[in-house]
Structure 1
Amino acid sequence: MEQTYTEDQTLIQRIKDGDETSLIKIYKEYRPAFQQWAQHSYRIDEEQSADAFQDAVVCLYRNIVQGKLESLTSSLKTYLFAIGKNVIRKKLQQPVALESSELGLVESLHADPIDQFATNDRQRLVARLMETIGEPCKSILELFYFRGFSMEAIAERLQYKNENVVKTQKLRCLTSLKSMVRERYQNEDFV
């Protein structure tokens, strides 16, 4: 069922207000059509289209919570599909670039990409460690990596002096998490 402009604006406002059910509604409503369109238009497989859709929804969410999307000039579906088109084109052209500090963490988590079982265990380990890392690291890393906040937005939300202080703290937190992963990974039996 297609949304009307008013319904789309209402969904955007609800997401801004922290209503996750609105984002879930968008996800469920547009995923099948997006995947079909993406697979047909770009000759990609089901997994690639699912990944692209998820990335597009994350981008939509970031645009809403960061105030980049205040009102629509098209339907929400059209806006989401446009994001998805850009995501697919980027994925087909080049791999994603990471900051050097982030690259180190990713490499430590995915040292053996062939061993999917170990990779999943490492991801679960990181999730567990995120629960134990403590504040302010937990908040900073979650806001930056999972909610897509900018450094400036994190500084404002967590009442830091400026974004440079947040960058420094984020690097410390990432380094700490990385050493916790290495320590636990060496000490735990993942089999």
Structure 2
Amino acid sequence: MQETNTEDQLFVDQIKSGDEESVVAIYQAHRNGFIQWAQSTYHADEPTAADVFQDAVICLHHNITCGKLETLTSSLKTYLYAIGKNILRKKLQKESVLDKDENWMIENLYVEPLDNFATNDRQRFVANLMETIGEPCKTILKLFYFKGFSMGAIAQAMDYKNENVAKTQKLRCLTTLKHKLRNQYSGDEFYGD
């Protein structure tokens, strides 16, 4: 066990010194195992588990390069899985608490306003609403709901100070979108088919 921790610490030191091949080696060594673990433990589908693992590796890399992780107190695999578990649990919890407005908007959100193939008025309406909320809201909501980015990954992509800033901004964006939706239509006349 001590030998494994020594090897793992070597990976940490190599990443800290800028060796990107070590990140690739960690990714390849643990990807399949993490996906199988996430599927059996949390019943996550393969694409979700793969996305979560990628976010976990990015977070691991960030923690090492910014000095948050200097010395391992567990195996690298345990540390990486703990990050992945936290990301996955947050993602699954988020998905289970979506309210009616969010579910409805998500189903109809990702249609460009000028898309000739938009098949119904609701899709065109929500696409137009997305255009009215502008940036950064449009990008944040697309990254979160359609690309499956974690809030930490969005914070990095949008160059926010931290994950909490990204969460606050996403909540403001979603509230704005809901308010615009409710101002246009009542739930009964627009949610029904």
- The TM-score, its normalising length taken from structure 2, stands at 0.52
Residues 87-145 of structure 1, C-alpha deviation per residue, up to 9 Å, x if partnerless? Answer: 100001126xxxx95334346x78xx6xxxxx9xxxxxxxxxxxxxxxxxxxxxxxx43
Match of 2:174 in 1: none
Match of 1:158 in 2: none
Match of 1:24 in 2: 24
Q: Mark the CA change 1:150 to 1:16 in structure 2 (over 3 Å): closer, same or farther.
A: farther
- TM-fit CA distance, 1:7: 1.0
1:75 aligns with 2:87: no
Match of 2:88, SS?
helix
Letter in 2 for 1:90: K
Equivalent residues of 1:66, 1:149 under 8 A apart: no
- TM-fit CA distance, 1:23: 0.1
Equivalent residues of 1:62, 1:149 under 8 A apart: no
- TM-fit CA distance, 1:4: 1.0
Q: How does 1:37-186 map to 2 (within 5 A)?
A: 37-94=37-94, 102-106=136-140, 144-145=156-157
Alpha-carbon distance between aligned partners in 2 of 1:150 and 1:56, rounded to the nearest angstrom: 19
Q: Mark the CA change 1:150 to 1:69 in structure 2 (over 3 Å): closer, same or farther.
A: farther
Alpha-carbon distance between aligned partners in 2 of 1:149 and 1:11, rounded to the nearest angstrom: 28
Alpha-carbon distance between aligned partners in 2 of 1:69 and 1:11, rounded to the nearest angstrom: 12
- TM-fit CA distance, 1:17: 1.1
Letter in 2 for 1:62: H
- The TM-score, its normalising length taken from structure 1, stands at 0.52
Match of 2:136, SS?
helix
Q: Mark the CA change 1:31 to 1:85 in structure 2 (over 3 Å): closer, same or farther.
A: same
Alpha-carbon distance between aligned partners in 1 of 2:58 and 2:160, rounded to the nearest angstrom: 11
Alpha-carbon distance between aligned partners in 1 of 2:136 and 2:71, rounded to the nearest angstrom: 33
Count of matched residue pairs: 113
Equivalent residues of 1:15, 1:22 under 8 A apart: yes
Q: Mark the CA change 1:42 to 1:17 in structure 2 (over 3 Å): closer, same or farther.
A: same
Alpha-carbon distance between aligned partners in 2 of 1:25 and 1:4, rounded to the nearest angstrom: 15
Any unmatched runs of 5+ in structure 1?
114-118, 120-143, 152-191
Q: Mark the CA change 1:57 to 1:149 in structure 2 (over 3 Å): closer, same or farther.
A: farther
Residues 44-93 of structure 1, C-alpha deviation per residue, up to 9 Å, x if partnerless? Answer: 11111101101110111111111000111100000000101001000011
Match of 1:14 in 2: 14
Q: What's the % identity of the aligned pairs? A: 50
C-alpha root-mean-square deviation of aligned residues, in Å? 2.9
Equivalent residues of 1:63, 1:69 under 8 A apart: yes
Any unmatched runs of 5+ in structure 2?
96-133, 148-155, 163-193
